[in-house]
Amino acid sequence: MCGFAGFLGGIPGSLEDRANLLTRMGERILHRGPDHGDLWWDPGAPFGFAHRRLAIVDLSPAGQQPMISASGRYVIVFNGEIYNHPEIRAELERAGAAPRWRGHSDTETLLAGIDAWGADATVRRAFGMFAFAVWDRQTHSLTLARDRLGEKPLYYGWQGSGQARTFLFGSELKALRPHPAFEGSIDRNALSLYLRYNNVSGGHSIYQGIAKLPPAHLLTVSMLAPEPVLRAYWSGSAAALQGKQDPFTGSPEEAVDRLDALLRDAVGRQMMADVPLGAFLSGGIDSSTVVALMQSQSTQPIRTFSIGFHDAEYNEAAHAMAVARHLGTSHTELYVSPEHAMAVIPRLPEIYDEPFSDSSQIPTLLVSELARQHVKVSLSGDAGDELFGGYNRYQITAELWSRLARIPGPVRAAAAWSLTRLSPRQINRIAALLPMASRWSHVGEKVHKGAGVMAARTVDELYRGMVSQWQCPDAIVMGGVEPATLPEPVARALAMLGDVERMMAADLLTYLPDDILTKVDRAAMARSLETRIPFLDHRVVEFAWRLPLAYKIRQEDAGHTTKWVLRRVLDRYVPRELIERPKMGFGVPIDAWLRGPLRDWADDLLSEERLRREAFLNPQPIRQRWTEHLSGRRNWQHPLWCVLMFQAWLGHETTERTAPPLTDIPTSDRRLACAF
């Protein structure tokens, strides 16, 4: 796990100028790689790399980067892990294409594959999470690549004009800012997307001219061919469609057997490390499955980590402890005070680098800090919900639409008005009296959110409304026009899926990489902790899409059971009574904090005068929701947190722009071993 940055083009300056600039870019992402840093530039072209290393596999100098291929043609900077790299080495050796190995790092394996087969053929062979950049010294062209599901980030884009025009790329946006060509113009259309989804989604970044490389894509660019050429080497949407065309035809028990075997292999591969390794454990289905499969393959107790809150509504620590005791892990938990949790908030704009407002970013950062005190790598149970139908909103939306579609629009509007006459708190009290109460949480908030989208014309519009923070972000962002998050051909292809599966596929392609994986990557890497996600082994993803929906969401006497096949895998390792409970989000009580200890901070960021002066957001609807939230009449924590995180980021970004440049680091303190 590492971080990198670089540039192509622009005004090269002296060798000392290049070294200073690359050093600054690399130092901005020191947290991604505190163990080692190097620079490399091409004396025959306006190109340079900066790399920061978090040493996980092959801790020797043989694993350091930037790394030059055995032929001398290619130079690579790499972030991530290739879990099947021993098999790739063996294939190279059988083909007589292996170099004389210098060490046992997966970076060296990847580079040898590129030297022998090219980047496209090599990434298709690779199981893993990664982002990398390869410079071809023969053609003076740059290739960027990103893993299939988007675990590792990679930003790129042309900036500047005239002779100063430069192609910038890097693991985080902050690594691009030191370059003099970086413009930093805020993209108001991307801001509209952010206000809807609480993240900058769909391949955009918050800055004009800077994009995220899509998952499962390669990009090639050069000074002679400056228009970046993107090409896909895998497709999540194609995996979904192919899975439906070639469905698994075995029995439910055979499906459980197959999933167990696939997950066991994925987890076993991801336990590869030359440093201490552990896992996050919430006590829920997904993390418990990962930990159970780890412990079943380890002769020593696995290190597991969880955080707890004294507020029972947000606390999962007791459940995690029960699972840890049953599995025999070496478990560490930390109960966090509200003061400790809130102390994280001022750091969020710098950590996330662009507006991001999934409030579970706070506990994710806290559990990463806890884990990093003991291990350098932590496995995570993320992505189980997207693959196996774990979100209640899938079934809620489908059932709601099946009823709404039969009701004329004007009648629906009247029903929506009626539903909002009761406050969410009152609806929660009524829902608590119903037989299904134990299976649902925050019913009142969900009813109000559902009422707000009852005018939807299709189930897709309804679902978009259900996952939106602001229903009409263009009315909030001054001059913003919300772009689409999925390319039109992908959206058309997904129309072949059923309603629930289409929601799951949309989440796999957007919500998962842009929210969940972004949240985990930035929080963990801020503490120099590598995270790995076994559910995102592409073989697991492809198999999940072959399974009938009834193997994921099963109608039973007590109602719908989500993640059915995954629950049955977990049954083999953990007693069901330790797991079966209402689904909890990994959150913090933002609603109460905004009315209490965070009120003054929020008041300042949401002041009408400030909003008008900055001229990005329309103050009127924001101030109205803030007033309603403070009164207790409504809980607007999520849309307000979305605005607050943008405002906090904007203040941080403005400060960065006006800060003096970083002091040059003396040449004697740099590593320039790879300069030529």
The partner residues of 441 in beta bridges, in order of sequence, read none
Per-residue pLDDT, 360: 94
For residues 44 and 191, is the Cβ–Cβ distance under 8 A?
Answer: no
Distance CA 38, CA 53 (A): 9
Q: Rounded to an integer, what distance in angstroms lies between the CA atom of residue 490 and that of residue 577?
A: 41
Distance of CA 641 to the CA centre of its chain: 19
pLDDT profile of the chain (676 residues), mean per 10: 94 86 96 96 94 95 96 97 97 96 96 98 97 98 98 98 96 97 97 97 96 98 97 97 96 98 98 96 96 97 93 82 97 92 94 96 96 98 97 91 82 71 72 60 66 78 93 95 92 94 97 97 97 98 97 83 96 94 72 94 97 97 96 93 98 75 36 32
Helix H segments across 527-635? 538-546, 564-571, 590-595, 599-605, 608-614, 619-631
Q: How far apart are alpha carbons 66 and 76 in whole angstroms?
A: 6
* Cis peptide leading into residue 66 (ω within 30°): yes
Q: How far apart are CA 674 and CA 50, in angstroms?
A: 10
CB-based burial label for 70 (10 Å; 0-12, 13-18, 19+): middle
Q: Which CATH number fits domain 237-389+513-578: 3.50.50.60, 3.40.190.10, 1.10.760.10, 3.40.50.620?
A: 3.40.50.620
> How confident is the model at residue 449, as a pLDDT?
63
The values of phi and psi at residue 598, to 5°, are -95, 5
Provide the pLDDT for residue 594: 96
Contacts of 529 (CB under 8 A, 6+ apart): 368, 371, 372, 375, 376, 377, 378
Residue 333 and residue 305 in contact, taking contact as beta carbons nearer than 8 Å: yes
Which CATH number is 2-234's, of 3.90.1150.10, 3.60.20.10, 3.90.245.10, 3.30.1330.20? 3.60.20.10
CB 643 within 8 A of CB 195: yes
- Domain ranges in the chain with CATH number 3.40.50.620: 237-389+513-578
Is pTM, for the whole model, over 0.85?
yes
Q: What φ, ψ does residue 42 adopt, rounded to 5°?
A: -95, 115
CB 154 within 8 A of CB 146: yes
Helix, strand, coil shares, percent, the chain, to 5: 50, 15, 35
pLDDT of residue 588: 85
User: Sign of torsion, CA 144 232 83 368?
Assistant: positive
Closest CA to 309 of 636, 23, 610, 592: 592
**Given strand 377-379, what is the order of strands in its sheet?**
330-336, 303-309, 277-280, 377-379, 530-532
Q: Which of 470, 477, 467 is nearest to 187 (CA)?
A: 477
Range(s) for CATH 3.60.20.10 in the chain?
A: 2-234
The residue type found at 665 is I
pLDDT, residue 439, reads 54
- With 0-12 / 13-18 / 19 or more C-beta atoms within 10 angstroms meaning exposed / middle / buried, residue 478 is middle
Beta bridge partners of 80: 130
Token duo for residue 63: 């694993």
Buried b (16+ CB within 10 A) or exposed e, 638-669: bbbbbbbbbbbbbebbeeeeeeeeeeeeeeee
Residue 418's pLDDT is what?
72
Give the separation between CA 120 and CA 231, rounded to whole angstroms.
9
d(CA 25, CA 2): 14
* Consecutive H or E run containing 278: strand 277-280
Partners of 141 in the β-ladder: 136, 222
Nearest CA-CA partner of 533 in 512, 556, 551:
512
